């Protein structure tokens, strides 16, 4: 089950190290456009974040006046979120984002920063789309931010790509192309000869497969861009933000 995997992976130590205020995915130039776009898509309704984590997006979205509820499988991540806001500001249901149901009706459900790939089977990912549809009112939207698999960078006979090289940090992905799985390896160096390693498993998904999952859940693709500010999605885009929509009420 995804909940058991995530609880083991995102334990207290991992949750404590998750936030990087002002840098990486917490940088204003990354977070600002994300929150602005989601606020516009939510409109006058409420939003539900699958895998809400420590509230990187949910907290600033709530500060903009959008009612936000979250689903999160890791109690340790929720504990970090609670250090920022209380349960009245961002209520959270602890459970699996593919199956957990929360009360209320939403205009927007969203999954950011590759989180849908944490579901390691196609069946779980399809159920995630169905769960999003279950929570949305007619005409509601499901937004997924996801990287494009970098298989074109794999030379024959190689099964790994290096995607992050910074002082004190090295990031690489290893691929199992038979089972459509990858593992991200995060090495952090503290000035000694030793390194700390954190691994996260993922099931990578091509945009076309994602679109088929959406159709199975009753969605249609409304638009797709390369980023949150609306850049054109092309064959060279490393990621995409895809907006799926349910049919409006008759």
Q: How many helical (H) and strand (E) elements, i.e. helices and strands, does the chain have?
A: 7, 11
Helix/strand/coil (H/E/C) assignment for every residue in 228-244 = CCCCECCCCCCEEEEEE
> Residue 89 CA to chain centroid, in angstroms?
21
Could you tell me the pTM of the whole model?
A: 0.91
The whole-number average pLDDT for the span 147-173 is 87
The pLDDT of residue 134? 97
Please give the residue that has the higher pLDDT: either 164 or 109.
Answer: 109
- pLDDT tier, 26 (very low <50, low <70, confident <90, very high otherwise): confident
CB 104 within 8 Å of CB 34: no
Q: What is the pLDDT of residues 38-59, one digit of tens each?
A: 999 999 999 999 999 999 999 9
The predicted structure's pLDDT at residue 8: 66
What pairing do the DSSP bridges indicate for beta strands 181-189 and 160-166?
unpaired
Q: What are phi and psi of 139, to 5 degrees?
A: 85, 0
Segment 84-94 mean pLDDT: 96
d(CA 142, CA 155): 35
Question: Average pLDDT in the 14-41 region?
Answer: 88
Q: How far is residue 173's CA from residue 189's CA, in Å, rounded to a whole number?
A: 18
**Residue 180 near residue 190 (C-beta atoms within 8 A):** no
Query: In whole angstroms, what is the distance from residue 29 CA to residue 148 CA?
Result: 21
Residue 170 pLDDT > 80, yes or no? yes
CA distance 136 to 48: 9
With bands split at pLDDT 50, 70 and 90, how would you rate the model's confidence at 242? very high
For the cut 60, the answer to whether the pLDDT of residue 3 exceeds it is: no
DSSP character for 83? T
By percentage, how much of the chain surpasses pLDDT 90?
A: 74
Find the range with the poorest average confidence among 85-94, 102-111, 153-162, 175-184: 153-162
CA angle, 22 then 74 then 24, to 5°: 20
Distances (CA, A) of 108 to 133, 143, 146, 177, 237: 10, 8, 17, 33, 25
Segment 185-234, tens digit of pLDDT: 989 888 777 888 889 999 999 999 999 999 999 999 999 999 999 999 99
pLDDT at 151: 87
């Amino acid at each position: 089950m995804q909940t058991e995997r995530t609880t083991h992976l995102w334990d207290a130590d991992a949750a404590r190290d998750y936030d990087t205020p002002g840098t990486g995915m917490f940088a204003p130039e990354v977070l600002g456009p994300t929150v602005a776009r989601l606020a516009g898509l939510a409109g006058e309704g409420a939003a539900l974040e699958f895998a809400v984590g420590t509230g990187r997006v949910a907290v600033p979205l709530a500060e903009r006046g959008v009612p936000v509820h979250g689903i999160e499988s890791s109690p340790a991540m929720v504990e970090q979120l609670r250090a920022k806001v209380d349960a009245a500001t961002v209520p959270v249901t602890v459970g699996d984002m593919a199956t957990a149901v929360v009360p209320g009706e939403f205009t927007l459900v969203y999954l950011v920063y590759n989180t849908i790939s944490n579901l390691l089977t196609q069946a779980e990912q399809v159920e995630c789309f169905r769960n999003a549809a279950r929570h949305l009112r007619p005409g509601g939207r499901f937004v997924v931010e996801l990287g494009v698999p970098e298989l074109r960078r794999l030379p024959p006979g190689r099964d790994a790509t290096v995607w992050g090289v910074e002082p004190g940090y090295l990031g690489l992905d290893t691929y199992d192309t038979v089972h459509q799985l990858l593992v991200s390896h995060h090495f952090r160096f503290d000035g000694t000869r030793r390194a700390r390693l954190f691994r996260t498993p993922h099931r990578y998904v091509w945009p076309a497969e994602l679109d088929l999952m959406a159709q199975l859940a009753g969605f249609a693709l409304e638009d797709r861009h390369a980023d949150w500010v609306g850049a054109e999605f092309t064959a060279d885009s490393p990621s995409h933000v895809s907006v799926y929509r349910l049919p409006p009420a008759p």
